[in-house]
Amino acid sequence: MVNALLALLLAGAAIAVLAYVVSLLVTAAKPSFGGVWERQRIGWHTARARRGDELLAKGQIDGALNAWRGAFYLSPLSTRTLAATVTNHHTALLSRLLAVTSDLQGGSVRLLSLAKTDRLLAERNELQRRYFSARQSGRRERTRETLALLRNNAAELQATLRQLVGEIQAARQPPPTH
């Protein structure tokens, strides 16, 4: 009887130690493998931006504008490295939109939605920094609030990008003649 009780106790302790070791391994591997899916999604958005470049080279400005609009990555990010990559990607996309707008308007840019897009992206970068801080601090409520703000920012950015592309397309149209 004592042997059976001791065996159950040791088996329970062994299972607990094994579960602890597995959780340590999963936690250690998560940064390496956890961002794989996220990096893949960012890669898809980068490819979409390249597709926009190809369309522009073929003279298909509307197609390029729509591809670039879809190339913005508006999901919350898990690492600061990926956040820096996405920030650079967004800067490159804004640069492309600015160049096309400048060409269409003869060297000047007068689109309010371009400035609003830039402001929303800067706000998004700050929200992303706050999200990392909240996650690191372990404050779940603050993390949830920041995620909600990131989602609101993404929705506003999508609307502003639609407006921006519409304004650029409207700038391409010749003025009506009377």
> Is 167 within a domain?
yes
> Is 177 within a domain?
no
Question: In terms of domains, do 90 and 148 share one?
Answer: yes
Question: In terms of domains, do 167 and 131 share one?
Answer: yes
Residues 6+ apart with CB under 8 A from 93: 49, 68, 71, 72
Question: In terms of domains, do 68 and 151 share one?
Answer: yes
Question: In terms of domains, do 76 and 151 share one?
Answer: yes
User: How far is Cα 156 from Cα 32, in angstroms, rounded to an integer?
Assistant: 32
Q: What's the chain's length in residues?
A: 178
Question: In terms of domains, do 13 and 51 share one?
Answer: no
Asked if 110 contacts 167 with a C-beta cutoff of 8 angstroms, the reply is: no
Question: In terms of domains, do 19 and 44 share one?
Answer: no
> Is 162 within a domain?
yes
* Parent domain of 3: 1-34
Encode the chain (178 residues) as per-residue pLDDT tens digits.
Answer: 888 888 888 888 889 889 888 877 776 665 555 578 899 999 999 999 999 999 999 999 999 999 999 999 999 998 999 999 999 999 999 999 988 888 776 655 667 888 899 999 999 999 999 999 999 998 899 999 999 999 999 999 999 999 999 888 887 766 566 5
Question: In terms of domains, do 46 and 89 share one?
Answer: yes
pTM of the predicted protein model: 0.76
